[in-house]
Structure 1
Amino acid sequence: MCNEQANRVAAGLIRDDLHDLRIPLHFPDGMPNLEPRASIRITDRNAILRAAGEGGAELVVRRWSWPGAHGKPVYNFRSEGRRFASHRCLIVADAFYEFTDPPADPALPKKGRRKDKWAFTKAGEAWFAIAGIWRAHAEVGEAYTMLTCEPGPDVAPYHSRQVVVIERRDWGAWLDPATPTPESLLQPSPAGMFDVARA
């Protein structure tokens, strides 16, 4: 499961890209100062887009994950067979990471070997949006989690699940609470969507 992402996207670029899509953007907490971050981990804060009460979207910074059963963080959430009638969001990212076991080396102890880290970026785009849901939690306030699905061809060699990436043309539909959950959006990414490189 994805447990690390990156966001080096300026708020101005997010605003301009949503303007191009004719999605009005609001800043209920004021324009956030999004410092470039190559590593955002569970419980860190990151920018999300969610439906605004006055229409369009709002850009806010919230915590990644809320405490689940037995205190374990809910940072990924399976999308299959579920309906998301409200509290949808788009998680701003320019990369997410997956980890694989390194090739076996009998000279090294198995326990001490570091995993290989792989960065997934969206081919031809400066940033992308991961489908998520958010909720208010009594202990941590508002927080978000990423939706996952079966892996597409670019991710399958690295992990058995992938985060759901929503295409730009569908951002408005995903955010609009009046639109029924479009299950067609919660699908594995097609081949060639991601550039993959060792991080």
Structure 2
Amino acid sequence: MTENNQRKQQAKLLRVFRKIHRTTGAFLFIFFFFVSVTGILLGWKKNSGGLLQSKSFQGTSVHLKDWLPIDSLHKNACKILLDSISKDATLELERIEIKKDKGMVKFIFAENFWGIQLDGATGQLLHIERRRSDFIEKVHDGSILDDYFKTGNGLIKLVYTTIMGLALLIFTITGFWLWYGPKRMKRK
């Protein structure tokens, strides 16, 4: 193959990579926008002064032997949610976080991102929080759509993260080639 033909082939390959890069970017622009903004917010959540993620409050005892049973703490958290937030609140739990070193337990409710922090030993309310970082995380990974459409199996999140991961891989490869290809052509 002559040098001129090689150069034409490399230029053609560069045009293909540029088109893939441009088309993928245009098609997924809004998704990249959400992923980047939510990613920045998640990176800053612990340094947001309580805006994105509430601090974990300190309970009275870090010794589990002093703590109330989890079912008692759960009943107390549900009562607080109903009394303080809404009489119609759904009591379905998303998860329970035990912070032994803080002497505290968090009950995170599935609906509307509410969290109740209780003293593990006394069951007293330490803090009621709106879990904004949980909402941001669900937007970031696409699982908010699974919640909205009630898929229950995480299919939308799986498809979304696969598309976004493959797009990032394509951007990395095509972006590298768009940077390296012209340098390679100049050298020859």
Smaller-chain TM-score bracket: under 0.3
Larger strand proportion, structure 1 or 2? Answer: 1
Larger radius of gyration: 2
**Structure with the bigger percentage of helix:** 2
Q: TM-score, normalization: structure 1?
A: 0.19
TM (norm. structure 2) is 0.20
